[in-house]
Amino acid sequence: MRRSLSLAVPLYPGHQPTSAPTKGFIALFSAFKALHNPHRADAVAALGEATGRRALGRLRDQLRASPSGRRILDERPVIDRASIAEAQLDLLGPETFGGCYARYLEQHSFDPEERDRVR
């Protein structure tokens, strides 16, 4: 029996569904680029998107299960220097998103402005 190469239903506005062979090509190509240069955020992101459909679906379902998660999905906030007060992040509890984010920024010497814009 021949398998269909039909494309999946879009997961979100702007999502470009791809066939299984195309996902495989993207995964292999992106994995090669990411292993060659781990600073290629585009390659790391493409690899995650090509191989992480189940994980992304579970994450989406978990977000939909709570009021704050639904709000995040609806508003799609961008976290950058204009939207955060870094000095106040350290004042938040260690179990909060802000507290975890502050630790991540410090431990990895990460600047949110260094990240490419999400497409």
Q: What is the pLDDT of residues 58-101, one digit of tens each?
A: 989 999 999 999 998 999 887 777 777 777 877 888 888 888 88
The range of the structural domain enclosing residue 22 comes to 17-77
Is there a domain that residue 98 lies in?
A: yes
Q: Quick one: what percent of the chain has pLDDT higher than 70? A: 90
Dist. CA 52–CA 34, nearest whole Å: 16
The answer to whether residues 48 and 73 belong to one domain is yes
Taking the mean position of all CA atoms in its chain, how far away is CA 16? 15
- Residue 5 pLDDT > 50, yes or no? no
Q: Is there a single domain that holds both residue 63 and residue 83?
A: no
CA gap 12, 106 in Å, rounded: 32
Distance CA 27, CA 43 (A): 9
34 shares its domain with 72: yes
Confidence of residue 3 (pLDDT cuts 50, 70, 90): very low
How many structural domains comprise the chain? 2
Instruction: Tell me which residue of 39, 38, 46, 43 sits closest to 22, measured CA to CA.
Output: 46
Measured CA angle at 39 (ends 33, 40), to 5 deg: 45
Which pTM does this prediction carry? 0.53
Answer yes or no: do 58 and 95 share one domain: no
**Residue 70: inside a domain, yes or no?**
yes
Are 29 and 46 part of one and the same domain? Answer: yes
Tens of pLDDT, residue by residue over 36-64, are 998 888 888 888 888 888 888 898 999 99
Q: What is the DSSP letter of 113?
A: G
Q: Tokens 């994450």 correspond to what residue?
A: 59
67, 96: one domain: no
